[in-house]
A and B are shown apart, each in its own frame.
Chain A
Amino acid sequence: AQSVTQLGSHVSVSEGALVLLRCNYSSSVPPYLFWYVQYPNQGLQLLLKYTTGATLVKGINGFEAEFKKSETSFHLTKPSAHMSDAAEYFCAVSFPIYNQGGKLIFGQGTELSVKP
């Protein structure tokens, strides 16, 4: 079965510190990988995605993620946290299978807190 696991439902960092949010997936076929961010009472906004090509992907707001096939991981990082990064982050996968492309499978989410 296809699934996404995010390690740590809550992560707290100090402003200026490294942000590392972990995501692992389970899949029988190579997936497409996404990171979304959700601010309170808002929808989801795409941070970055991996479909093909370079495994290190850069996104908005200084975030990046690296696809490691051998580890089935797609961890999200940002070198220096900012107060405005406080939000909930979701890792998601979809699959290049006929008529399955519109379905995203999400991890449980990681709430990021940033301390001043």
Chain B
Amino acid sequence: KAGVTQTPRYLIKTRGQQVTLSCSPISGHRSVSWYQQTPGQGLQFLFEYFSETQRNKGNFPGRFSGRQFSNSRSEMNVSTLELGDSALYLCASSSGRGQGAGGNTEAFFGQGTRLTVV
């Protein structure tokens, strides 16, 4: 079974630009979550999608957005990039059974996209 695939692996963007990152979850998984990892702030939750609906959102500005498609693939977009957006962005998928908690199911992580803003 293929794991979680994130593309691209590395990205360099200029301040003020926008960027779109992609995540393909494990086949059959309907929940996709996104995390930002930085040396200073650690791992922070961005948002979670389940069956094309955003189910939960972290404390990030509106410049960070995402969506999920009918095949469960997800994208996240960051507009008007700032230097502080430089980070490793991780995507995780899980079965996330139903509309309930699902918090006891394992989240499988991709290798991440390393975004550098210059």
Contact = CB atoms under 8 A, between A and B. Distances in A.
B55 to A, nearest CB: 5
Nearest to A102: B48
A103 B33 contact: yes
Contacts of A107: 42
A112 B110 CA distance: 22
Interface residues of A, number: 29
Interface in B14-46: 31, 33, 35, 42-45
Classify chain B: how many residues form its interface, as a range: 20 to 34
Contacts of A98: 99-101
Contact of B33 (A41, A52, A104, A108): A104
Interface in A30-67: 32, 36, 41-46, 49, 51-52
B4 A43 contact: yes
Contacts, number: 85
A96 to B, nearest CB: 4
Interface in A57-116: 90, 92, 94-109
A100 B101 contact: yes
Contact of B107 (A41, A52, A97, A104): A104
A101 B42 contact: no
B8 interface: no
B104 A102 contact: no
A106 B99 CA distance: 23
A36 B42 CA distance: 14
Contacts of B58: 103
A62 B54 CA distance: 37
Nearest to B97: A101
Nearest to A90: B43
Contact of B109 (A45, A49, A99, A103): A45
Given A100-B103, A103-B48, 6 more contacts: A32-B104, A46-B107, A98-B101, A99-B99, A100-B101, A102-B56
Interface of A: 32, 36, 41-46, 49, 51-52, 90, 92, 94-109
The 7 closest A-B pairs by CB, nearest first: A101-B103, A43-B109, A94-B103, A102-B48, A101-B101, A101-B102, A51-B104
